[in-house]
Copies of this chain bind each other. A is one copy, B any other.
């Protein structure tokens, strides 16, 4: 039985563990003011093509926490965040955004993606509405790269989204919980530098991409005043902050972050092709580390004997859609075994 439930079933990449072990008894100041965090920040800014005058980097622990903290920091009380109806903040964060007082303004998405045109139309209609000032002002846009369906925004799409946000003077925030698998996908034409140029704030996911935990928020310098205090207020400030610095410092040394993600994407592609070849319906064209398969009852019964997975949703005709996720740990032989058994 192979396990593809999710991409956070194992611990940390061995190089990260090694760094944690090597430095374990060193003493450092808390809350991210240590030298490992400083080093990680410098490497991340460099990878993003930003100087320390242009960008800033903050380390948080988990994804929902990061979304809630960034959004609470960006929005004013009368504002909400535009997101896809299938967006993580709209569905699977237990109301964390609303708990900080803000509405998630949902727009239907196609394969998890929001289009610039749909956002433009939404805001245009909002501002034209006689009753706009009785409604929640669209104050920012949230997208995920890759999306919750493993799909990718192209550079052209991202440029269009960025343009529409700048036109309406609202920030664009990219949830990169699985960003490594996007950057490493052969299907992408988007780089970290593109993200840094086109978004106002985004984060580089560690938890699902090789770290034990941790998300690195990259934002335009000064975008959210007092963000440190907001992180603290949201319970998102790790006391032993260097654990985050160490992990990201390791991931951003010798391209480890991309390299380990690439392998996961390769294995997911192999699985995807095998499913397709066996007549399974691939549900979303996701060129990253997740694959979605719509199963007949028979296929479902068979698949349950081979692998573990996540139940995702139901198709209109009632079939179960499941998600399989590979990770930096997934081995060729594990995938071989599944392919064979299919």
Contact = CB atoms under 8 A, between A and B. Distances in A.
> Residue among A30, A93, A95 with the most chain B CB within 10 A?
A95
A230 B62 CA distance: 15
Interface in A190-242: 207-208, 212-213, 225-226, 228-230, 232-240
Interface string A1-39: 001011011111010010011011111111000000000
A49 interface: no
Interface in A31-84: 61-66, 68-69, 72-73, 76-78, 80
> Residue among A61, A208, A225 with the most chain B CB within 10 A?
A61
Which 3 pairs across A and B sit closest by C-beta, in order of nearness? Answer: A65-B235, A11-B24, A94-B233
A341 interface: no
Main secondary structure of the interface of A (DSSP, over half): loop
Interface string A293-333: 00000000000000000110000000000000000010000
Interface of A: 3, 5-6, 8-12, 14, 17, 20-21, 23-30, 61-66, 68-69, 72-73, 76-78, 80, 91-96, 98-104, 130-131, 133-137, 207-208, 212-213, 225-226, 228-230, 232-240, 243, 310-311, 329
A135 B12 CA distance: 27
A96 B234 contact: yes
Nearest to A136: B95
A212 to B, nearest CB: 6
Contacts of A229: 78, 94, 133-135, 137
Q: How many copies does the complex hold?
A: 4
A61 B212 CA distance: 13
A239 B8 contact: yes
A226 B76 contact: yes
A226 to B, nearest CB: 4
Contacts of A27: 3, 9-10, 329
Nearest to A23: B11
